[in-house]
Amino acid sequence: MQTNYALEIKGLTKHYENFHLEDVNLTLPKGSIVGFIGENGAGKTTTIKLILNQIQKQSGTIQVLGLDHETNEREIKEQLGVVLDEGFFYDSMNPLQISTVMKSLYKNWDHALFLKYLDKFKLPKKQGIKEFSKGMRMKLSIITALSHHPELLILDEPTNGLDPVVRNEILDLFLDFIQNEEHSILFSSHITSDLDKIADYICFIHEGKIILQDSKDSILENYALLKCTHEEFKNIDREDYVSHRKNTFGCEVLIKDRSYIKLKYPNLILDSINLETIMLFYILKQEEVK
């Protein structure tokens, strides 16, 4: 089945006693990186487990590379590279032993490519994984995911807890992977600064619901932070902003239509914004509703 999407989720629902994933819709165009953002516990990992068919959904559909994620699970996983925050290697193994195991699991396992990545990232071939740092373990997870030539990478917090140097190395590797326009990445993270650098699209989930989904460039172009005094804030119509916060000196207000606001309130200051601030203000909005 030909499709322009590496991943297409429609109406996805999963209910737990204390958490509901509700009517999640998400698309990942081929050749792009989608940043899947949200605070810890928002539903990112639950969504990924549903994609991987590790848990069962209540309703909805999940198409991976044009195939149903349940009916064609084995075929999909041949073309899928997965990196999970908790890792999946036994501490007693070393990288060469991992390669042997992976060769038995994947038809397209490329031992030569795996060795090339080990050398590139200066990872010892015969050292036990129990002696690896967190950064070394994550590098190993990523190059293992890449060494069977996947079309789609699914990454769950791949840079969490890593130092800036290691994070930049890993982000460069993802950008290199995406140069092939048939390759795609779903990058789940609460570290939005990484996604400011490399994401093409952003999907923001909060408390099991999709709050915002658009191209990153469009979001950063249209959203802004309006700064004003407490008196000026009283004159801003409620429908013109997402949420706000007050401090001693005045108010900061998240707006999502920079051009319109600039015309309507020409004397107020509009500052550029990043993904982390947008996420924070949307969470504030949800708290206001409660």
Instruction: Return the C-alpha torsion angle 241, 243, 247, 249, nearest 10.
Output: -10
The answer to whether 210 and 42 are in contact (CB under 8 A) is: no
Same domain, 167 and 81: yes
Beta strands 67-68; 59-64: pairing state: antiparallel
pLDDT recorded at residue 245: 93
Extract the tokens encoding 145. Answer: 């995911």
Same domain, 137 and 17: yes
Same domain, 39 and 70: yes
CA distance 4 to 189: 24
Range of the domain at 148: 5-216
Q: Does 283 reside within a domain?
A: no
What b/e string do you get for 198-218 counting C-beta neighbours within 10 Å, with b at 16 or more? Answer: bbbbbbbbbbbbbbbbbebee
pLDDT recorded at residue 286: 67
Same domain, 196 and 98: yes
Domain end, chosen from 149, 182, 216, is at 216
Half-sphere CA count of 102, side-chain side, radius 13 A: 29
Extract the tokens encoding 82. Answer: 């997965």
Beta partners for residue 254, in sequence order: 225, 243
Same domain, 265 and 122: no
Q: What is the CATH number of the domain that holds 95?
A: 3.40.50.300
pLDDT recorded at residue 2: 60
DSSP tag of 17: S
Same domain, 14 and 155: yes
Residue 56 CA: distances (Å) to CA of 46, 70, 138: 10, 9, 27
CA distance 138 to 194: 15
Kindly tell me if the per-residue pLDDT of 1 is higher than 60: no
Burial label, 21 (beta-carbon count in 10 A; 0-12, 13-18, 19+)? buried
Q: Does 284 reside within a domain?
A: no
CA distance 87 to 251: 43
Binned at pLDDT 50, 70 and 90, residue 135 comes out as: confident
Kindly tell me if the per-residue pLDDT of 246 is higher than 80: yes
Q: In total, how many domains does the chain have? A: 2
Q: Does 280 reside within a domain?
A: no
Same domain, 103 and 161: yes
Q: Does 286 reside within a domain?
A: no
Same domain, 265 and 174: no
Q: Does 36 reside within a domain?
A: yes
In 20-143, DSSP assigns E strands to 20-29, 33-37, 59-64, 67-68, 80-83
Q: What is the pLDDT of residues 32-68, one digit of tens each?
A: 999 999 888 899 999 999 999 999 999 999 999 999 9
pLDDT recorded at residue 125: 95
Q: What is the pLDDT of residues 15-31, one digit of tens each?
A: 998 999 999 999 999 99
Same domain, 74 and 113: yes
Same domain, 9 and 151: yes
DSSP string for residues in 164-205 = HHHHHHHHHHHHHHTTSTT-EEEEEES-HHHHHHH-SEEEEE
Domain end, chosen from 216, 243, 259, is at 216
Same domain, 134 and 189: yes
Same domain, 96 and 177: yes
